């Protein structure tokens, strides 16, 4: 009999690719969606209108062996809530823990939770990458909610025996990527001169296909039970190097020039883009040696292949 997997957030950027991967392997797939979704080509849909402490998951959890929980209130560039932390907690903490308790009561064997590297912090220093044993340092409401959900899930695992796996990915890129990475792709594609040549940073990223492969590995691998993993492509890049790699994937020439960092900071302050500049100029590295040693996991594709697959799909304007 096939194992049955419930995926939440199955119509999102990561969720669509994950559902395709799960459906292509020897699993029965159940996808929790807010409305019936024709975009899910395989598996069964079950409508879950909300994700909070009141949600009834009984229909979705019937005979499910593992849950992969992607659904969340995501980090917003332009927050509209007057009380962001309460809004994030409602979905990401209370909603997650409600699902996990019902999953444990329904006999679910394993619960895979997609958290965020932001639980560790916003940047690394002295070329020392984040690792799983670091003291968490979440700095915004989204990251705080993910950290609180992690703690609640560990308590549920201890109380019920349901296995919990926590994955903290950095920035994910791939076909259909949005937000800042998409903007960078468009800038390189149209040949926009970028004043970032002097930046000397190191950042970990993860290709969508690599993340999906790791999630599926954590759903089945015995050694993943009750573990937390930081994950990436295994090759860190500076921002100028990333731009050059994107240009190569696009068969374009990169247009980079150098401005002193103090000038970039001054312009960023004037334009209200300090956070965006920090993401382009700061360090954020993760150590994936635990994933390699515990699970014998190797990223299936390289950064260059991940970028090639990303630019092969037209970007949304």
264 compared with 19, residue with greater pLDDT: 19
pLDDT digits (tens, 9 = 90+) for 57-106: 999 999 999 999 999 998 665 556 778 899 999 999 999 999 999 999 99
142 and 186 assigned to the same domain: no
pLDDT, averaged across the chain: 91
Averaged pLDDT, 123-145: 94
Its domain, for residue 251, covers 179-201+238-281
Pick the catalytic residue from 111, 142, 173, 229. Answer: 142
Q: In this structure, are 109 and 192 located in the same domain?
A: no
Indicate if 128 and 193 belong to the same structural domain: no
Whether residue 163 sits in one domain with residue 74: yes
142 is catalytic: yes
CA 241 – CA 75 distance, rounded (Å): 26
Residue 40: pLDDT above 70?
no
pLDDT of 221 strictly over 80:
yes
- 296 exposure class (CB count in 10 Å sphere: 0-12, 13-18, 19+): exposed
Torsion of CA 267, 269, 271, 273, to 10 degrees: 110
- Convert 33-66 to b/e letters by CB count within 10 Å (16 or more is b): beeeeeebeebebbebeebebebebeebbeebbb
Q: What's the pLDDT at 230?
A: 98
Look at 9-13, 45-49, 65-69, 105-109 and tell me which has the smallest mean pLDDT: 45-49
Number of domains the chain is built from: 2
Cα–Cα distances (Å) from 202 to 265, 268, 283, 286, in that order, read 18, 20, 5, 10
Cβ neighbours of 25 (radius 10 Å): 13
For residue 233, being part of any structural domain is answered with no
- Distance CA(285)–CA(275), nearest Å, equals 17
Which whole number is the average pLDDT over 291-314? 95
Which pair of tokens denotes residue 232?
Answer: 């990436």
Are 194 and 244 members of one domain? yes
Flag whether 215 is in a domain.
no
Domain-embedded: residue 315: no
252 falls within a domain? yes
CATH code of the domain containing 62: 3.40.50.720
7 shares a domain with 129: yes
d(CA 99, CA 94): 9
Domain match, 132 and 186 both: no
Confidence of residue 53 (pLDDT cuts 50, 70, 90): very high
pTM for this one? 0.93
Same-domain check for residues 158 and 247: no
247/160 same-domain check: no
The answer to whether 251 and 311 have CB atoms below 8 angstroms apart is no
Q: What are the tens digits of pLDDT across the range 240-284? A: 999 999 999 999 999 999 988 878 777 777 767 777 777 788 999
């Amino acid at each position: 009999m096939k194992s049955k997997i419930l995926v939440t957030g199955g119509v999102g950027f990561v969720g669509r690719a994950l559902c395709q991967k799960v459906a292509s392997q020897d699993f029965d797939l159940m996808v929790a969606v807010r409305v019936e979704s024709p975009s899910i080509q395989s598996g069964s849909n079950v409508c879950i209108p909300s994700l909070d402490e009141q949600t009834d998951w009984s229909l979705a959890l019937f005979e499910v062996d593992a849950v992969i929980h992607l659904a969340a209130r995501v980090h917003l560039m332009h927050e509209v809530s007057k009380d962001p932390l309460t809004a994030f907690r409602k979905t990401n903490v209370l909603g997650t823990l409600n699902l996990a308790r019902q999953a444990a009561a329904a006999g679910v064997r394993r619960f895979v939770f997609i958290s965020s590297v932001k639980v560790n912090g916003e940047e690394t220093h002295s070329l020392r990458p984040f690792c799983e044993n670091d003291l968490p340092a979440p700095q915004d409401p989204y990251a705080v909610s993910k950290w609180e959900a992690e703690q609640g899930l560990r308590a549920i695992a201890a109380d019920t025996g349901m296995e919990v796996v926590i994955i903290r990915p950095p920035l994910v890129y791939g076909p259909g990527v949005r937000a800042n990475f998409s903007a960078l792709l468009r800038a390189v594609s149209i040949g926009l001169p970028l004043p970032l040549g002097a930046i000397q940073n190191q950042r970990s990223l993860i290709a969508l296909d690599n993340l999906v492969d790791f999630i599926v590995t954590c759903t089945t691998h015995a050694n993943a039970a009750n573990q937390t993993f930081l994950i990436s492509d295994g090759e860190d890049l500076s921002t100028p190097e990333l731009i050059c790699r994107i240009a190569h994937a696009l068969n374009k020439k990169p247009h980079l020039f150098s401005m002193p960092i103090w000038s970039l900071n001054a312009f960023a302050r004037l334009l209200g883009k300090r956070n965006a500049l920090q993401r382009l100029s700061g360090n954020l590295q993760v150590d994936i040696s635990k994933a390699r040693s515990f699970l014998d996991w190797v990223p299936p594709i390289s950064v260059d292949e991940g970028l090639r697959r990303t630019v092969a799909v037209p970007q949304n304007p």
